[in-house]
Amino acid sequence: MANPNILTASSVVGESTVTTTIGTGSTTLLTTAGSHVYRIVGVRIVNVTNDTASSATMLVGGVEFLHQVSVAANATLDVITKEFPLYLKENVALTATATAASALRVLIVYEDVS
């Protein structure tokens, strides 16, 4: 099915989600539904540990756009912002890996356009 034309969308719904911790293997953060486009306006990686830095790698549809960027203990990293959003087309996944298991969580704020 073709991606919806966002100029003729009948619905735009604001959503947000917080992942469980990112594993050292591929962790799916968000997958678009058929006939939907997600306009991601915020992705924040949060290191929830007190003493362990961890690096994050993120992919869209299997293509890496963030490669092993370090997030210090008790720190955050804004990866996507409303000034530079990411459009996630239908049936495409946003995934991530971390170098330290159970250290990183991800907050995602997006608009579901259909």
Position 107 in a domain: yes
CA angle 10, 15, 19 (to 5 degrees): 145
Q: Residue 64 is part of a domain; what is its CATH number?
A: 2.60.120
Residue 13 lies in a domain: no
> Is 1 a member of any domain?
no
Give the mean model confidence (pLDDT) for residues 33-48: 94
For the segment 41-68, the average pLDDT, to the nearest whole number, is 97
Tell me the per-residue pLDDT of 2-24, one tens digit each, with 9 for 90 and over: 666 777 778 889 999 998 899 99
Is 96 inside any structural domain? Answer: yes
Q: How do residues 103-112 score in pLDDT, each as one tens digit?
A: 999 999 999 9
Residue whose pair of structure tokens reads 């409303």 in the numeric block: 82
What pTM, to 2 d.p., does this model score? Answer: 0.90
Q: Does position 1 have pLDDT exceeding 60, yes or no?
A: no
Residue 21 is encoded by which pair of tokens?
């911790």
Q: Is the pLDDT of residue 25 over 80?
A: yes
Q: What is the 3-state secondary structure (H, E, C) of the chain?
A: CCCCCHHHCCCEEEEEEECCCCCCCCEEEEECCCCCEEEEEEEEEEECCCCCCEEEEEEECCEEEEEEEEECCCCEEEEEECCECEEECCCCEEEEEECCCCCEEEEEEEEEEC
Q: Is residue 8 part of a domain?
A: no
Q: Domain of 65?
A: 18-113
Domain presence at residue 64: yes
Mention every residue, 6+ apart, whose C-beta is less than 8 A from residue 31.
91, 92, 93, 94
Taking a C-beta distance cutoff of 8 angstroms, is the pair 41, 92 a contact?
A: no
Please indicate, yes or no, if residue 79 is contained in any of the structural domains: yes
Residue 9 in any domain: the answer is: no
Q: How many domains does the chain have?
A: 1
Residue 5: per-residue pLDDT: 74
